[in-house]
Amino acid sequence: MAAKKSKPARRAKTKAEEEKPKPSWWWALVAVVVAVAVGYVAFLKGSSAPSHVMSYSNREPLVPFPLPPLHDLPSHPLYEEDTEKVREIRTAFAKSWNAYKRHAWGYDEFHPLSKSGSNLLGKDDAPLGYTMVDALDMLILLGMKEEYVEAREWIRTTLHWDIDGRLNVFETTIRVLGGLLSASALMLDPPAGALPRSLDDAQLFLDKAATLAERMLPAFQTPSGIPKREINLATGEAFFDTDNRNASSLAEATTIQLEFKYLAERLHNATYWSLAERPMQVALDHSKPPEPGVLPIFVDPISGQFYAGEVRLGSRGDSYYEYLVKQYLQTNRTEDVYRAMYEHAFSGIKAFLLGKVTSVTPPLVHTLEMFPRQTMMMELEWLRRTKQDHLVCFLGGTMMTGAAAQTYGPLTPPMAVPGIPAARWEDWQVGHELIRSCVDTYTASATGLGAEIVFFNPPGYSEPNGRAWRVKRANRALDPYAEALIDSRNILRPETIESLYIAFQLTGDPVYREWGWTIFQSFQRWCQVDGGDGGYAGIDDVDSVDHQQIDRMETFWLSETLKYFYLLFTKRDLLPFHQWVLNTEAHPLPVFTPTFLTHVE
């Protein structure tokens, strides 16, 4: 009986509690949630955009700097190969490859200090071919026949996709799928100086690529078409990014298009074309005018809605912007939607995400990151910080490419074409200045190498050493055993060299080669292991000559950094821009006019 009597009492107490006013902290929490949602919607709808933001066609020049000179004659001596420098670059590649061959053959990654190899999944019998496939097109371009044959036979006999473990969809696409497709394309139509044509080899690489792509399809089976982050190639199971609320990142979802579109064209397979287009439709839906054109770095793969959060051009955002203009070029400028998306996105970049350090002469243009913060009045405001990843250094070359990409014909700098919109002039100028700033992060460091992350000086602040930027570093004066921060590292990244190559291709201005060679010599001085015979390694602190080398030779050292150095100093027309587009891992893919076309509306 006592138990029965107690039940009404408990029910009455609960009802009374429900009728009590909510505590103040509860309403504050509700206000925060509502403010974040409302503020983010306002951001996407463009209501937070400053009033000076103009359409792409009528913007006033933002950064009126002097333009670099233009040399537009194909026979100009500046376009010829610099034989001595090319020889040194080829030697650096050969030493790097041979060190990998001696100590880590067949493994995904090479560790030059310990002279060992490892696979991504930690299993000796489950390589994905990260280094082997990533460097394959460079072996073809350099005409390294013996090394190429050895790599080809390893791919033929050893590489398979029954790999039981979680692999990143984006990295697998740009490195392995892209590497195989590029090798296939180059063996179909090799440029001068490369290995001779082989239809059998081209088919081998295409077949491997097609099988890999088929294994990756389950990752794209989401309501929005935004792929999940990881895939098990053996089981077909796909996985969300649980560390980030099951979100997919902007860059990872929208940097698979060049690879899958080219595969679709080669196989006449509409499925691959469609899965490449669906993530772009999500991006388009959230970036149409009057929305600002720049997007947050995380998107929900179920709903296709972007999360309120950081907007940045570095990690998790970068290659979305890169692939807008490259998609336009890849399909022979038949998809005007990507030209329009590029123009709108870069108008947003110039309006929201650029800064300038005026305490140095000449001033340095740099990028910003934007992030939301709750105010004391429970309102959402968007703040900017002067942080710039090294990854952002692709942007200068991309902006110059976009400015030079007309509706037909070779890419032509805007000063050579009458009637170009002011915004394209602006892209060209800003692109050049961003390259100059990225080069400064190399040449003004203690080692002549650029850091993983720098912070440019905010207005009114000057570094004691007179530099325009600073790097977060471990304080070894207080702790001689302190590990260097990730920010201060150089891990052999390619983005600055990529932009120098693009700028030189478009202008012939020798300053880009001069800057590039200065950087190459810094790599030679600090990153060689055993004089280069042991490969190359990154360093843990670019602002200290007492740094330590890092026991990893990243695969992009072979596939990107050395390739861009080679392309910067070899003959200008090796891979003409109107015939080839390089994916974000620097794998050349042919420009083509689609035989079937299904694109975002």
pLDDT tens-digit map of 235-254: 999 999 999 999 999 999 99
Give the C-alpha separation, 163 to 355, whole Å.
45
For the ranges 248-257, 366-375, 469-478, the lowest mean pLDDT is seen at: 469-478
Q: Output the pLDDT for position 29.
A: 46
* Per-residue pLDDT, 601: 56
pLDDT band at 86 (very low <50, low <70, confident <90, very high): very high
From the candidates 452, 487, 541, 560, give the one annotated as an active-site residue. Answer: 452
Contact residues for 39 (Cβ-Cβ < 8 A; gap 6+): 48, 308, 372, 379, 380, 381, 382
| Cβ neighbours, 10 Å, residue 397 | 29
Count: domains in the chain? 1
* Average pLDDT across the chain, whole number: 87
Q: Give me the pLDDT at residue 365, please.
A: 94
Domain span at 368: 82-590
Burial class for 399, CB neighbours closer than 10 Å (0-12, 13-18, 19+): buried
Q: How far apart are CA 153 and CA 157, in angstroms?
A: 6
In the prediction, which pLDDT does 54 show? Answer: 27
Q: If phi over 0 gives left and psi between -120 and 50 gives alpha, with beta otherwise, what is residue 304?
A: left
pLDDT at 26: 47
User: What was the pLDDT predicted at 460?
Assistant: 80
- Select the more confidently predicted residue: 380 or 91: 91
Q: Is 416 a residue whose pLDDT tops 80?
A: no
- List beta partners, residue 374: 380
User: Above 60 in pLDDT, residue 42?
Assistant: no
Could you say which of 171, 237, 241, 509 is catalytic?
A: 171
Which is catalytic among the residues 291, 495, 541, 560? 495
User: Has 171 been annotated as catalytic?
Assistant: yes
**Is there a domain that residue 567 lies in?**
yes
State yes or no: cis peptide before 588, omega within 30 of 0: no
Q: For 486-561, where are the alpha helices, taking DSSP H only?
A: 495-507, 510-527, 555-556
Beta strand segments in 368-522, E: 369-374, 380-385, 387-389, 453-456, 469-470
142-189 per-position pLDDT tens digit: 999 999 999 999 999 999 999 999 999 999 999 999 999 999 999 999
Among 355-359, 449-453, 518-522, whose mean pLDDT is lowest?
355-359
Does some domain include residue 23? Answer: no
Give the integer Cα–Cα distance in Å for 490 and 327: 30
- Cα separation, 538 vs 548, whole angstroms: 9
**Collapsing DSSP states into helix, strand and coil, what is residue 334?**
coil
Give the pLDDT band of residue 36 (cuts 50, 70, 90): very low
**Which CATH number covers residue 92?**
1.50.10.10
Residue 349 within any structural domain of the chain = yes
Q: Across 212-308, where does the E strand assignment appear?
A: 230-231, 238-239, 248-249, 298-299
Q: State the pLDDT at residue 576.
A: 92
Can you give the pLDDT at residue 59? Answer: 36
pLDDT value of residue 477 = 73
Kindly indicate the confidence band of residue 290, based on its pLDDT and cuts at 50, 70 and 90: confident
pLDDT of amino acid 459:
84
Q: Which residues contact 149 (CB under 8 A, 6 or more apart)?
A: none
| Segment among 263-267, 507-511, 541-545, 558-562 with least mean pLDDT | 507-511
Q: 58 lies in a domain?
A: no
Q: What is the mean predicted confidence (pLDDT) over 265-286?
A: 96
pLDDT at position 77 is 52
pLDDT digits (tens, 9 = 90+) for 546-586: 999 999 999 999 999 999 999 999 998 899 999 999 999 99
**Position 26 in a domain:** no
**Range name among 27-31, 260-264, 266-270 with the lowest pLDDT average:** 27-31
The model's pLDDT over 198-237, given as tens digits with 9 standing for 90+, comes to 999 999 999 999 999 999 999 999 999 999 999 999 999 9
Residue 511 lies in a domain: yes
Give yes or no for a contact between 535 and 555, defined as CB atoms under 8 angstroms apart.
Answer: no
Q: Any binding-site annotation on 584? A: yes
**pLDDT on residue 291:** 85
Q: Is 463 inside any structural domain?
A: yes
pLDDT value at residue 124: 87
Query: Cβ neighbours of residue 369 under 8 Å, at least 6 residues apart?
Result: 310, 311, 312, 313, 314, 353, 384, 385, 387
Return the minimum-mean-pLDDT range out of 56-70, 180-194, 287-301. Answer: 56-70
Quick one: which of 533, 542, 354, 341 has its CA closest to 440? 542
Catalytic residue among 318, 335, 426, 498: 318
Calculate mean pLDDT across residues 276-302.
Answer: 95
Is residue 235 within 8 Å of 241, Cβ to Cβ? no
For residue 61, being part of any structural domain is answered with no
pLDDT-based confidence at 23, cuts 50/70/90? low
Full 3-state SS string of 157-194: HCCCCCCCCCEEHHHHHHHHHHHHHHHHHHHHCCCCCC
